[in-house]
Amino acid sequence: MRLYIDSADVKQIAYLNEYYPIAGVTTNPSIIVKENRPYIELIEDIREVIGEEKELFVQAIGDTAEEMMEEAKFITHQLSGNVMVKIPVTEEGIKAIKLLTANNIPTCATTIYTASQAFLAALAGAKYVAPYVNRIDNLTGNGVKVVSEIARIFTTNQLPTKILAASFKNVQQVHDVCLAGAYAITVGTDLIEKFITFPSTSTDVSVFKEQWQKVYGSDKTTLFNS
């Protein structure tokens, strides 16, 4: 299981990258425009924060396969390190994934709502597929079920494509896709911090400290000075 940050907020990325086991950063056009600054400069800043090894996902916005191909070449040329090009699973997108795969440019097939879309993208050579769990749920579908169907199809067909589950609004959805066979998850900054927050954990930690200080003195804040 790999954890990605679904954001382009450089400050938040720097903070989460320092504290959490992050595999990379995913963006999409909506995420990028939120930052309201020149996008190349923005993604270069993200690259600087996460380093060259971690994957950075940037989405194409062109309508045709040829446009997406040009965008992918441009982005992978502009940006150093490990770059994944996100391609929406339209008909042109599937063609673009085939062309990019033939040119050894790794892709993530995105805006996935059905297992059939994921299957086609995988056959076209996508390295990742990104099913939109919460958006599927909002259409009264079942995002977790779609992830588990994709996982079964990939296993049955021995497809090397990985599931990068995306679009989450709560920790339960993330937990459920982990059990359903996702290889990776990409999660907004606010939700990543919720993974670890649990009242009993903070209470236990405070009690341990209190008990320690009762015996060794209230100035003893670490094992070193006890």
Instruction: Give residues in contact with ligand E4P (CB under 6 A).
Output: 6, 26, 28, 110, 130, 132, 134-135, 166-167, 186
* 30 vs 158 by CB, closer to ligand E4P: 30
Q: How far is the CB of 128 from ligand E4P (least distance, A)?
A: 10
Instruction: Quote the Cα angle for 151-152-156, to 5°.
Output: 120
* 109 vs 115 by CB, closer to ligand E4P: 109
Q: Are 30 and 42 spatial neighbours (Cβ–Cβ below 8 Å)?
A: no
Closest listed residue to residue 184, CA positions, set 207, 155, 151, 158: 151
Q: How far is the CB of 135 from ligand E4P (least distance, A)?
A: 5
* 189 vs 213 by CB, closer to ligand E4P: 189
* 107 vs 167 by CB, closer to ligand E4P: 167
Residue 158, sorted as left (phi over 0), alpha (psi -120 to 50) or beta, turns out to be left
Alpha carbons 22 and 13: distance in angstroms, whole number: 9
Closest listed residue to residue 8, CA positions, set 58, 51, 52, 54: 58
Q: How far is the CB of 189 from ligand E4P (least distance, A)?
A: 12
Q: How far is the CB of 158 from ligand E4P (least distance, A)?
A: 26
The one catalytic residue in 11, 54, 73, 86 is 86
Alpha carbons 163 and 128: distance in angstroms, whole number: 6
Instruction: Quote the Cα angle for 80-84-85, to 5°.
Output: 110
* 100 vs 130 by CB, closer to ligand E4P: 130
Examine the residue annotation and report whether 209 is marked as an active-site residue of this protein. no
Q: Are 127 and 161 spatial neighbours (Cβ–Cβ below 8 Å)?
A: yes
Q: How far is the CB of 6 from ligand E4P (least distance, A)?
A: 5
Neighbours of 200 (CB within 10 A): 7
Catalytic residue positions, numbered: 86
